[in-house]
Amino acid sequence: MCGIVAYLGQKEAYPILLGGLHRLEYRGYDSAGIALMQSSGITMYKKKGRVDELQKFCNNLDTSGSLGIAHTRWATHGEPSEQNAHPHVSEDGSMALIHNGIVENYIILKQQLVNQGVIFQSDTDTEVLVHLIKNVQDKEKVSLPEAVIIALRMVEGTYAIAIISKDDPNQLIVAKKGTPLLIGIGDNEYIIGSDGAPIVEYTKQVIYLEDGDVGVIRIDKPIQISNVNDSKNLHRSPYIQTLELNLEQLEKGGFDTYMLKEIYEQPKAVRDSMRGRINLEKDVVSLGGILEYEQKMLNARRFIIVACGTSWHAGLVAEHLFETLVRVPVEVEYASEFRYRNPVIYEDDVLIAISQSGETADTLAAVEIGKKRGATVIGICNVVGSTMARETMAGSYSHAGPEIGVACTKTFTAQITVLALMALSLAKKKGTISMSQYHKLINDLESAPDKIESVLHYEQQIQRIAQYVATKPNAMFLGRGVNFPIALEGALKLKEISYIHAEGYPAAEIKHGPIALIDTNMPVIVVAPEQHTYDKVVSNIQEIIARKGTIISIVTEGDSVIKKMSKFTIEVPKIDELLTPLVTTIPLQILAYHVALIRDCDVDKPRNLAKSVSVE
Ligand code: F6R
């Protein structure tokens, strides 16, 4: 969740580190810090708040040096503060370290160090690492790389770390387990990042460290990589890959915010997620990444979908797609609950993990459980080369392009598209779908980008609705069938970026309790396109109006019934019922966006959140 960047080369490190922090800020933004190797030793600057605060603070200070490490934090242990910000340093100030992840046994390790007289400066788990490494180095009289390996063998949990030490001012040490770390190889320079964002400006040649790897980076020698699990400490030759990322994808491209840009990118994202996967001539839908396991999927007794947050909502949409089309039972699970529930898993189950980042700790843990219990484990993720992409047996990328806004938008619609393609491909092969239904769905799927485009034109109209919703302390979102997950997603979008309390319910469920909340002050946003439960939703709306609730509806173009019952209405183009989420979710994203702007919230970096939740 935190962002890590480090530099070793011939240039001034500071501007590169600062630029990297800005690009990584979506991973965490409650404090930031930089440590630079200077002739006098390590100089460190830290600040609570955004990277801008750190930058302002550093103006007019000495930021020289061509080796440095920098970090932007999402607090886990210890509140956001200067003291808890990274880097953390050894007691004598000769070693500095940045960390992403969690040291799970930090209490025991800390106690052991405290017993030896070490004085801690922060409340973080990370500080244990720097003291532990220093302690090992001093006691065992070993080199720093050796000390790092010995120390990391004592550490339980996850880490991506970068270390500099005054003892060897030309050396940068990195290590990773359970959370990503990349070494970018430039021209006589190395840029390290917790993802490709701070690297791509300088090089596309990268090494993805494997779990347990410790890399020693110097300008005068080739990179040495060894692994903490290798008792012989042998070095392996690094495997250099090309980063699949463009600089333009990381810019705002004329939009005020990443989130708005990403909302508007949805026609392209959905198109890209279908690209090369539908062959109209041969009349096949094919997802190359899962072909090897297709037979297992065709023979599946059950699909278990695991995910968190918005990806979980995509899983709920998939439940409708798979059960309707493939006629196999589907269970959709919160990964965080599934992993601790001792679930019953059969060898002929197929577990599908869905994740934008491919780094969500709970979803990755669910993947491990699925694998251990013998299920076929398939991944759907957006970030190429992510841990999920490597840990699942097979999978499909959602191909939405990088998503920087913390709230998921385009990756949600891209996930649904991939899941629809998967369901269609399996259904056709199993013969559980008629050819006319198959062709209609393919047709409608192909029309989805244009239909999403047309909904984007309603932004101004939705802005007016936002003026109304922004004045309310609560909101309720209702939907049925395949649009119930869209109600949940609408509520999640609103609460996470505008901080208005919002709940999503299946429309019929409200009479079992939530209807008690309805009064003139409660906007009720009903997702009610043409679908087989339309008349039932009309009755649910009547019940709300009878209690003086205010209806804001999302309906299919040409609707006359619900429109008349609503204070505000947004019309979306007609599309097959199973694919309606692709269009009904768009107005809800735009609504949340404008409510957040009106309430002066930072839509790209909502409070307390971070983009990839790599801690449990
Ligand atoms: C909501 C949001 C989160 C993520 C969740 C899972 O807008 O961004 O709820 O959907 O943290 O993240 P991924 O998909 O990366 O596993």
CA 577 – CA 530 distance, rounded (Å): 7
One domain for residues 92 and 225: yes
Residues 463 and 546 in one domain: yes
The answer on pLDDT for 290 being more than 80 is: yes
Angle 144-146-148 from CA coordinates, rounded to 5°: 70
The reply to whether 83 and 188 lie within a common domain is: yes
Please state the domain count of the chain.
3
Over residues 488-525, the pLDDT tens digits come to 999 999 999 999 999 999 999 999 999 999 999 999 99
Domain edge (last residue) among 187, 215, 249: 249
Determine whether the shortest distance from the Cβ of 407 to ligand 1 is under 6 A: yes
What is the average pLDDT across 2-30?
A: 95
Same-domain status, 515 and 448 = no
Please report which helix (H) or strand (E) contains residue 336, including its range.
helix 335-338
Measured in Å, residue 307 CA sits from the centre of ligand 1 at 8
Give the Cα separation of 10 and 578 in Å (integer). 56
Statement to judge: residues 578 and 438 lie in one domain: no
Whether residue 248 is predicted with pLDDT greater than 90 in this model: the reply is: no
Please report which confidence band the pLDDT of residue 151 belongs to, taking 50, 70 and 90 as the band edges. Answer: very high
pLDDT value, residue 301? 96
Res 370 pLDDT > 90: yes
Q: Looking at 452, 468, 488, which one is the last position of a domain?
A: 452
**What mean pLDDT is predicted for residues 368-391?**
95
- Just list the catalytic residues: 2, 611
Better-predicted residue by pLDDT, 311 or 28: 311
CATH of the domain at 239: 3.60.20.10
CA of 589 to the centre of ligand 1 (A): 14
Report pLDDT for 467: 98
Tokens for 484, please give them. Answer: 């119930």
Give per-residue pLDDT as tens, 524-550: 999 999 999 999 999 999 999 999 999
Give me the domain span that covers residue 13.
3-249
- Atom 3 of ligand 1: nearest residue by CA position: 309
Query: Percentage of residues in the chain with pLDDT exceeding 70?
Result: 100
Instruction: Verify whether ligand 1 is closer than 6 Å to residue 388 (CB atom).
Output: no
**CA 311 to ligand 1 centroid distance, Å:** 6
Residue nearest to atom 4 of ligand 1 (CA): 309
Q: Are residues 433 and 381 in the same domain?
A: yes
508 and 480 part of one domain: yes
Residue 53 pLDDT: 96
The conformational region for residue 606 under phi > 0 = left, psi -120 to 50 = alpha, else beta, is beta
44 with 89, same domain: the answer is yes
Query: Pocket of ligand 1, candidates 306, 352, 357, 615: which has the most ligand atoms within 8 Å of its Cβ, to mutate?
Result: 357
Are residues 484 and 376 both part of a single domain?
A: no
**CATH number (domain holding residue 385):** 3.40.50.10490
Q: Is the pLDDT of residue 275 over 80?
A: yes
308 CA closest ligand 1 atom index: 6
Let me know whether 439 and 470 are in one domain.
no
- pLDDT per position as a tens digit, 88-123: 999 999 999 999 999 999 999 999 999 999 999 999
CA angle centred on 494, ends 492 and 499, rounded to 5°: 105
- pLDDT of 233 > 80? The answer is no
Contact between 10 and 65 (Cβ < 8 Å): no
- Would the pLDDT of 27 be above 90? no
* 241 and 262 part of one domain: no
Q: Is the CB of 408 under 6 A from ligand 1?
A: yes
End position of a domain, from candidates 230, 249, 268? 249
- Specify the pLDDT at position 22: 95
Shared domain check, 128 and 91: yes
pLDDT band (50, 70, 90) for residue 366: very high
pLDDT in tens, 451-486: 999 999 999 999 999 999 999 999 999 999 999 999
The answer to whether the CB of 533 is under 6 A from ligand 1 is no
Q: What is the DSSP secondary-structure string of 24-74?
A: HGGG--SEEEEEEEETTEEEEEEEES-HHHHHHHHTTS----SEEEEEEE-
What's the whole-number average pLDDT of the chain?
96
SS3 105: coil
Whether 414 is in the pocket of ligand 1, judged by its Cβ within 6 Å, is: no
Confidence band (pLDDT; 50, 70, 90) for 236?
confident
